[in-house]
């Protein structure tokens, strides 16, 4: 049996940048053990499994260890692949049924927009030890979606963060962000650290932008912004706050197209 | 945009998801080294082999996600399997030019035999960092490229615990640490660990057998031996001591067949 497989770099228009995800497309859903085994072989943060179901698509995401309830970059990678392969109408939105409910994707030229929840939090004090591990002086910290969102004064401070991940592991996930330098073409930049779930630094993170978009929208007084995630791979996003939703837009590039040959 | 054939093969096994996975990239001419390293890093496999036809031979190189290797058995076996099973190579013998000299692989009935250099290990001092990272002490220590730590029983090899944080303080690129003992129902068993690598334990390691074969041939006074590598995925190797060369044989399964798209 052959299972079509795609490896896609999401939130970038260049190979080897953005966040890589694998996408497997099947006519009917695969057994859970098969999906987990494929994800475990992949060495990628997430593998998406998509199958068609009466006008919508069923979508599930697996890490090498377990199924996860939501994944932004693998959803973008899946939408990109369905359109590129002619499996979805380019003029219609794609509707995904997932563990996190109905998610939609729409396309405008080579930008894909995902409709995700807007996540807001409350002001807290960043523990002294976390400040020291990150080497930052917070301007403002909020607790949002079980993670710290830490605003610092300059872009340089974001780029310079080089944490001891073993020391950061007992603490919640951390987003470090700053207003982008004037003339950079971006409104804000960020990085995302999650050693508590085994990811030291995530290259480009959809869910972090569900928190960053309402935060910077209120601060900068504009609903639409250009964002850059300043990991070593790097990724670009357009974000727009729309009531209690965030529209996350990005590009994607296919790196590998093939098929798994199983039970042979 | 350049598109090249790309395969993932499970080597030293006759069942899918066993053995050691290797990427195999089929090239017409060499890409820049930086791009080879990027491809190996992106797919995250223990090793990715790249080969280019050179007259009747093939030039062959191997990359881990971090570095170029001097010699790699399982990715060479995987390359031979791709040539025979996927690309219809007509001959029984395949000759590769590598950084470790000329390597020949023959195929008969789905069993591939690697003709590799013998790297007889000599008695050596065990570095303190390695000693401190072990939960049990070897009965003998030798070294060629790799440290070879000999234990009394198969149980020692199965059960050994290595303190990763400690052993990661040492860099022995491109080498590693072999743990070995006589087998209960087989000539010898082993495991292979690489400090500082993203894949700490290698599932099945052909190049380690370049040292294991001459060592155990001397100890057991046998030319032909059967070996097991006791990683979670597991692998079977049929070994022959042939003086200055070793013959290492195993099977392979194609797991993924596809195309890699890269900018050039």
Same domain, B129 and B234: yes
pLDDT surpasses 80 at A263: no
Same domain, B256 and B238: no
Same domain, B179 and B196: yes
Q: Which of B44, B257, B258 sits opposite A44 (nearest CB)?
A: B44
B26: closest CA of chain A, how far (Å): 13
* Superfamily of domain A122-243 in the CATH hierarchy: Diaminopimelate Epimerase; Chain A, domain 1 (3.10.310.10)
> Is the CB of residue A139 less than 8 Å from the CB of residue A172?
no
Query: A17, A261, A263, A264: best mutation site toward chain B, by most B Cβ within 10 Å?
Result: A261
Kindly state the percentage of chain A with pLDDT values over 90.
87
For residues B191 and B214, what is the distance between their CA atoms, to the nearest angstrom? 17
For residues B158 and B167, what is the distance between their CA atoms, to the nearest angstrom? 18
Q: What is the pLDDT of residues A7-52, one digit of tens each?
A: 999 999 999 999 999 999 999 999 999 999 999 998 888 999 999 8
What's the whole-number average pLDDT of chain A? 94
Q: What is the pLDDT of residues A210-220, one digit of tens each?
A: 999 999 999 99
Closest CA to B208 of B184, B187, B239: B239
pLDDT surpasses 80 at B217: yes
Same domain, B130 and B170: yes
Give the strand pairing for A173-179 and A147-151. Answer: parallel
Same domain, B80 and B144: no
Predicted complex ipTM exceeds 0.90: no
pLDDT surpasses 50 at A264: no
For residues A4 and B126, what is the distance between their CA atoms, to the nearest angstrom? 48
Of B42, B47, B92, B155, which is the active-site residue? Answer: B47
Mean pLDDT: which of B36-45, B135-144, B190-199 is highest?
Answer: B135-144
B262 and A259 within 8 Å at the Cβ level: the answer is: no
Range A2-113+250-261: architecture per CATH: Roll (3.10)
Same domain, B94 and B132: no
Closest CA to B118 of B103, B108, B128: B103
B257 and A257 within 8 Å at the Cβ level: the answer is: no
Closest CA to A196 of A232, A237, A163: A163
For residues A61 and A23, what is the distance between their CA atoms, to the nearest angstrom? 9
pLDDT band at B264 (very low <50, low <70, confident <90, very high): low
**Stretch A227-232: mean pLDDT:** 97
Encoding tokens for residue B183? 């087998």
Same domain, B170 and B194: yes
pLDDT of residue A111: 96
A15 and B263 within 8 Å at the Cβ level: the answer is: yes
Report the residue of chain B nearest A40, measured CA to CA: B17
The Cβ of residue B124 has, within 10 Å, a number of other Cβ atoms equal to 13
Q: Which of A16, A43, A255 sits opposite B45 (nearest CB)?
A: A43
**Stretch B118-133: mean pLDDT:** 97
Same domain, B255 and B214: no
Query: Domain-by-domain residue ranges, chain A?
Result: 2-113+250-261, 122-243
pLDDT of residue B235: 94
pTM of the model: 0.90
List the CATH number of the domain containing B13: 3.10.310.10
Domains A2-113+250-261 and A122-243 agree in fold: yes
Q: What is the pLDDT of residues B231-247, one digit of tens each?
A: 999 999 999 999 999 99
pLDDT of residue A175: 98
A43 and B38 within 8 Å at the Cβ level: the answer is: no
Same domain, B34 and B70: yes
DSSP string, A58-77: EEEEE-SS-EES--HHHHHH
Q: What is the CA radius of gyration of chain A?
A: 18
Same domain, B105 and B143: no
State which residues form the domain around B139.
122-248
Q: What is the pLDDT of residues B193-204, one digit of tens each?
A: 999 988 899 999
Q: What is the pLDDT of residues A118-159, one digit of tens each?
A: 999 999 999 999 999 999 999 999 999 999 999 999 999 999
**Stretch A182-193: mean pLDDT:** 96
The total number of structural domains in chain B stands at 2
> Is the CB of residue B108 less than 8 Å from the CB of residue B247?
no
Same domain, B254 and B203: no
């Amino acid at each position: 049996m052959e299972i079509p497989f795609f490896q896609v770099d999401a939130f970038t228009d260049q190979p080897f940048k953005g966040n890589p995800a694998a996408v497997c497309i099947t006519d009917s859903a695969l057994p859970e053990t098969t999906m987990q085994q494929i994800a475990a072989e992949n060495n990628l943060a997430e593998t998406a499994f998509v199958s068609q179901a009466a006008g919508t698509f069923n979508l599930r995401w697996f890490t090498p260890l377990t199924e996860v309830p939501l994944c932004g970059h693998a959803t973008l990678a899946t939408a990109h692949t369905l359109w590129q392969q002619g499996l979805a109408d380019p003029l219609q939105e794609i509707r995904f049924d997932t563990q996190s409910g109905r998610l939609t994707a729409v396309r405008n030229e080579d930008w894909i927009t995902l409709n995700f929840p807007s996540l807001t939090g409350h002001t807290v004090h960043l523990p002294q030890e976390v400040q020291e591990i990150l080497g930052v002086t917070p301007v403002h910290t909020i607790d949002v979606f079980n993670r710290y969102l830490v605003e610092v004064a300059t872009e340089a401070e974001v780029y310079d963060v080089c944490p001891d991940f073993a020391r950061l592991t007992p603490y919640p996930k951390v987003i470090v962000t700053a207003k982008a330098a004037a003339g950079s073409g971006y409104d804000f930049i960020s990085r995302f650290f999650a050693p508590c779930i085994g990811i030291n630094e995530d290259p480009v993170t959809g869910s972090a932008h569900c928190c960053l978009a309402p935060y910077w929208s209120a601060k900068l007084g504009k609903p639409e912004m250009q964002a850059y995630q300043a990991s070593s791979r790097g990724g670009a996003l357009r974000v727009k706050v729309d009531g209690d939703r965030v529209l996350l837009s990005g590009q994607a590039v296919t790196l590998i197209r093939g098929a798994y040959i199983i039970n042979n | 945009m350049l598109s090249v054939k790309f395969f993932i093969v499970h080597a030293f096994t006759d069942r899918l998801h066993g053995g050691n996975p290797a990427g195999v990239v089929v090239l017409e001419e060499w890409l820049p080294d930086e791009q080879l390293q990027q491809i190996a890093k992106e797919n995250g496999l223990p090793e990715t082999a790249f080969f280019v036809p050179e007259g009747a031979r093939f030039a062959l190189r191997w990359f881990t996600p971090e570095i170029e290797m001097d010699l790699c058995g399982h990715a060479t076996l995987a390359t031979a399997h791709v040539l025979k099973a996927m690309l219809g190579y007509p001959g029984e013998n395949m000759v590769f030019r590598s950084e470790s000299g000329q390597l020949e692989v023959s195929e008969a009935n789905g069993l591939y035999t690697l003709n590799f250099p013998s790297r007889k290990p000599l008695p050596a001092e065990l570095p303190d960092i390695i000693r401190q990272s072990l939960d049990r002490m070897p009965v003998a220590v030798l070294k060629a490229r790799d440290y070879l730590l000999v234990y009394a029983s198969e149980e020692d090899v199965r059960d050994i615990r290595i303190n990763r944080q400690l052993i990661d303080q040492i860099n022995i690129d491109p080498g590693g640490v072999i743990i070995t003992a006589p087998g209960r129902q087989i000539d010898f068993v082993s495991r292979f660990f690489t400090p500082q690598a993203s894949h700490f334990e290698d599932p099945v390691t052909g190049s380690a057998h370049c040292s294991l074969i001459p060592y155990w041939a001397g100890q057991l006074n046998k030319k032909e031996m059967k070996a097991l590598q006791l990683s979670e995925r597991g692998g079977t190797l049929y070994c022959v001591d042939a003086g200055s060369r070793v013959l290492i044989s195993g099977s392979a399964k194609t797991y993924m067949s596809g195309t890699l798209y890269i900018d050039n």
